[in-house]
Amino acid sequence: GDSVTQMEGPVTLSEEAFLTINCTYTATGYPSLFWYVQYPGEGLQLLLKATKADDKGSNKGFEATYRKETTSFHLEKGSVQVSDSAVYFCALSPYNQGGKLIFGQGTELSVKP
């Protein structure tokens, strides 16, 4: 079945460092891909998305590109801030399956000043 694999955490970075969180997926057809973020004490919220191959999603300085040839959707940010400390989830929505989401295991990011 469809699945999502994320790099394991926790990831600890210094402020202004470059961030990459790897995400690969297995799916039939053409899923939509998402990154969700869960800040401490808050609910899950959508960070960015891409709905077809070669789409680039971006938000709040984060970017991810839908790479069908490598079945990847890696999250990147050029300069992280302390306020980016959160748990990041990669997810996919299988094509034509009514909007369900399949999540990766989550990666905890801690940014130190």
Partner 1 sequence: SAVISQKPSRDICQRGTSLTIQCQVDSQVTMMFWYRQQPGQSLTLIATANQGSEATYESGFVIDKFPISRPNLTFSTLTVSNMSPEDSSIYLCSVEERLPGYNEQFFGPGTRLTVL
Minimum CB distance to partner 1, residue 104 (Å): 6
Query: Residues 37-76: x/- map of binding to partner 1 (CB under 8 A)?
Result: -----xxxxx--x-x-------------------------
Q: Burial, 85: exposed, middle or buried (Cβ in 10 Å; 0-12, 13-18, 19+)? A: middle
Given 56, 60, 68, 100, the residue binding partner 1 (CB under 8 A): 100
User: Does 103 sit near partner 1 (CB under 8 A)?
Assistant: yes
Q: From 13-21, 60-68, 75-83, 93-101, give the range in contact with partner 1 by CB under 8 A.
A: 93-101
**Residue 75 per-residue DSSP state:** E
Helix, strand, coil fractions of the chain, as percent rounded to 5? 5, 50, 45
| Tokens matching residue 18 | 């470059």
User: Does 102 sit near partner 1 (CB under 8 A)?
Assistant: yes
Is the separation of the CB atoms in 64 and 76 below 8 Å? yes
The residues binding partner 1 (CB under 8 A) are 32, 42-46, 49, 51, 89, 98-106
